[in-house]
């Protein structure tokens, strides 16, 4: 233990030197604190504005941030809010505070001061890295924990109060919760795929039950459709019964898709396929069955990303459709009048030119309708160029939205992976902690501790110091182990700890 130097245990010469430094007005120190000499700096500091509010420039790995000193002083216990701690990083030549830290993470750190305590991890940054920066800048991490718990509560699914309904809800809504939930999810996906395949195969002439050559498949398709729709109905009803919020469940888009995909089967069974007056209704109902493909969205994160991207880019997509509609009307009209002198032209009317304008602006170029005059070809060239420009304009916004949701999904998977890794390591920490405790006891024994008359261990001060030194050594090794070892190295270390524990027991027995 190092002795603490206080004013009471200073020597006479040290005390006189201290008084000279602290009481001398020409000294840069007064009362133990640094002071500014106005005579040595007559020039006005350019970092002070008209309101006498000092500006502070913070250089984080080459990227400069500028804020006010009063902003940092809102949290005086933090590194940036405490002048003594902050001045340790001051570059006197440039007047900047330099930190060799993560630049992107500092955006969230500075926003913490600017927003009076709102601590949020910047988008696209790992939470583990951001937590390290929060600890470095000595920010109260309870704000981060409260924010994380609030986000988890907002994003968490509401569970039913009934324990049996809760098990049913988790079984169907959270496939990763258990092995049984994964089996249910796999069955659901297989049934969806089978129903879609059957829907497509029914249109083949040799397999179409509505045609003579495919009438032998009528019973087969009926049995398969009955099994698939029975599963869809059972799944929907169980989820509806177990739902904690029935109204929200019914209004959900995916649940509406589930309900609409079930209805065609029962409509067909009720109306009857042989009723000649309901053939048109049956055709419409059968077409609705294709909506079942959207049921896969529930089990695919990629489709979730695509749906969120389309939803976020809905304004840009509507603007794209509007531009295309204007271009279609404009260029189809121009092509009609440009081709009016040709009696064999295919542009019989302006609506006939809509198809040509659409396939030209989208650069498809089907080729069934094309201009033949010079003016018509000029209109076609302008139509193709305009189509490329119109389609290219909203694409960057859509791509940006897709990248946002894609990175958000990556961060979610990374958090889940880190959580699983943490749970796995926590299961292996207990034997290692026990081994460290046994190693500390061994250090006491090796340091020469003695027993008193009651049998209690009496350890001198030097033995305590040896014990603490040994414990810190093992604790540092333990921390490095958790951060860098693989599973096989972890197993070897655990085995070594068991060997040390047996050695300590032998020592205690002897």
With the C-alpha atoms ordered 315, 321, 324, 330, is the resulting torsion angle positive or negative? Answer: negative
Q: What letters, b where the CB count within 10 A reaches 16 and e where it falls short, cover 431-457?
A: ebeebbebbbbbbbeebebeeeeeeee
Residue 324, phi-psi category: left (phi > 0), alpha (psi -120 to 50), beta (remainder): alpha
Second-level CATH architecture of 303-417: Orthogonal Bundle (1.10)
Lowest mean pLDDT among 246-260, 286-300, 375-389, 416-430: 416-430
Which pLDDT tens digit goes with each residue over 154-172?
A: 444 567 888 888 888 888 8
Which pLDDT tens digit goes with each residue over 299-320?
A: 778 888 888 888 888 888 999 9
Altogether, the residues listed in the chain come to a count of 510
The mean pLDDT of 61-80, rounded to a whole number, is 89
The mean pLDDT of 225-239, rounded to a whole number, is 91
Q: Can you spell out the DSSP letters for 186-217?
A: HHHHHHHHHHHHHHHHTTSTTT-TTSGGGGGG
In this prediction, residue 207 carries a pLDDT of: 85
Helix/strand/coil percentages in the chain, nearest 5: 65, 5, 25
Token pair 């030194």 in the structure block, residue: 469
Instruction: Specify the DSSP class assigned to residue 499.
Output: H
Mean pLDDT of the chain: 74
Q: Which of 83, 150, 78, 68 is nearest to 114 (CA)?
A: 68
Q: Is 95 helix (H, G, I), strand (E, B) or coil?
A: coil
Burial of 228 (0-12, 13-18, 19+ CB in 10 A): buried
- Residue 393: Cβ within 10 Å count: 13
Greater confidence, 441 or 406? 406
pLDDT at 275 over 90: no
State the Cα–Cα distance between residues 308 and 305, nearest whole angstrom: 5
Q: How remote is the C-alpha of 314 from its chain's centroid?
A: 22
State the Cα–Cα distance between residues 390 and 171, nearest whole angstrom: 47
φ/ψ of residue 456, rounded to 5 = -80, 150
Token pair 């003695």 in the structure block, residue: 450
The pLDDT confidence band at residue 297, using thresholds 50, 70 and 90, is confident
Which pLDDT tens digit goes with each residue over 447-497?
A: 555 444 444 544 444 554 555 555 555 555 555 455 444 444 444 444 555
In this prediction, residue 147 carries a pLDDT of: 56
Q: Can you spell out the DSSP letters for 343-378?
A: TT-S--SHHHHHHHHHHHHTT----SS---SHHHHH
Q: Is 339 helix (H, G, I), strand (E, B) or coil?
A: coil
List the beta bridge partners of residue 99. Answer: 60
Nearest 5°: the CA angle 91, 93, 98 is 25
The torsion angle over the Cα atoms of residues 267, 168, 154 and 107, rounded to 10 degrees, is -100
55-155 maps to which CATH number?
3.30.710.10
- Kindly list the domain boundaries of the chain, sorted by start residue: 55-155, 163-299, 303-417
This model's pTM is above 0.95: no
* 55-155 and 303-417 agree in CATH topology: no
Burial of 320 (0-12, 13-18, 19+ CB in 10 A): middle
- Residue 331: Cβ within 10 Å count: 25
In this structure, whether the domain defined by 163-299 belongs to CATH 3.50.50.60 is answered with: no
In this prediction, residue 331 carries a pLDDT of: 92
Angstrom CA distances, 147 to 121, 138, 410, 418, stand at 10, 17, 20, 18
């Amino acid at each position: 233990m190092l002795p603490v130097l206080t004013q009471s245990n200073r020597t006479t010469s040290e005390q006189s030197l201290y008084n000279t430094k602290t009481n001398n007005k020409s000294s840069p120190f007064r009362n133990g604190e640094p002071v500014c000499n106005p005579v040595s700096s007559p020039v006005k500091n350019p970092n002070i504005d008209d309101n006498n509010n000092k500006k502070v420039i913070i250089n984080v790995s080459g990227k400069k941030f500028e804020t006010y000193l009063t902003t940092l002083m809102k949290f005086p216990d933090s590194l940036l809010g405490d002048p003594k701690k902050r001045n340790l990083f001051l570059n006197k030549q440039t007047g900047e505070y330099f930190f060799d830290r993560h630049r992107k993470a500092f955006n969230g750190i500075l926003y913490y001061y600017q927003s009076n305590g709102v601590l949020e991890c910047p988008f696209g940054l790992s939470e583990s890295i951001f937590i390290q920066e929060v600890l470095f800048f000595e920010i109260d991490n309870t704000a981060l924990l409260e924010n994380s718990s609030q986000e988890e509560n907002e994003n968490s699914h509401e569970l039913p109060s009934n324990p049996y309904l809760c098990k049913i809800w988790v079984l169907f809504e959270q496939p990763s919760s258990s092995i049984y939930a994964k089996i249910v999810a796999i069955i659901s996906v297989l049934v969806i795929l089978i129903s879609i395949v059957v829907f497509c195969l029914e249109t083949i002439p040799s397999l179409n039950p509505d045609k003579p050559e495919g009438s032998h498949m009528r019973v087969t398709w009926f049995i398969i459709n009955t099994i698939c729709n029975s599963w869809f109905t059972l799944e929907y009803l169980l989820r509806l019964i177990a739902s904690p919020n029935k109204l929200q469940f019914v209004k959900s888009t995916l649940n509406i898709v589930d309900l609409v995909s079930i209805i065609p089967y029962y409509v067909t069974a009720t109306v009857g396929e042989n009723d000649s007056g309901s053939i048109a209704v049956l055709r419409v109902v059968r077409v609705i069955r294709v909506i079942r493909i959207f049921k896969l969205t529930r089990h695919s994160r990629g489709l979730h990303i695509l749906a969120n991207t389309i939803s976020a880019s809905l304004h840009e997509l509507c603007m794209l459709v509007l531009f295309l509609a204007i271009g279609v009307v404009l260029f189809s009209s121009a092509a009609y009048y440009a081709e009016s002198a040709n009696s064999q032209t295919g542009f019989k009317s302006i609506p006939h030119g809509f198809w040509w304008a659409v396939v030209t602006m989208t650069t498809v170029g089907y080729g069934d309708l094309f201009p033949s005059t010079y003016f018509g070809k000029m209109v076609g060239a302008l139509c193709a160029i305009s189509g490329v420009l119109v389609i290219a304009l909203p694409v960057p916004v859509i791509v940006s939205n897709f990248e946002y949701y894609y990175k958000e999904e990556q961060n979610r998977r990374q958090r889940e992976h880190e959580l699983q890794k943490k749970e796995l390591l926590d299961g292996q920490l207990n034997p290692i902690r026990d081994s460290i405790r046994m190693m500390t006891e061994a250090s006491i024994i090796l340091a020469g501790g003695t027993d008193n008359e009651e049998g209690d261990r009496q350890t001198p001060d030097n033995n305590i110091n040896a014990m603490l030194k040994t414990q810190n050594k093992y604790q540092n090794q333990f921390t490095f182990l958790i951060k860098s070892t693989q599973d096989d190295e972890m197993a070897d270390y655990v085995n070594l700890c068991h060997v040390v524990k047996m050695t300590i027991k032998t020592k205690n027995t002897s």
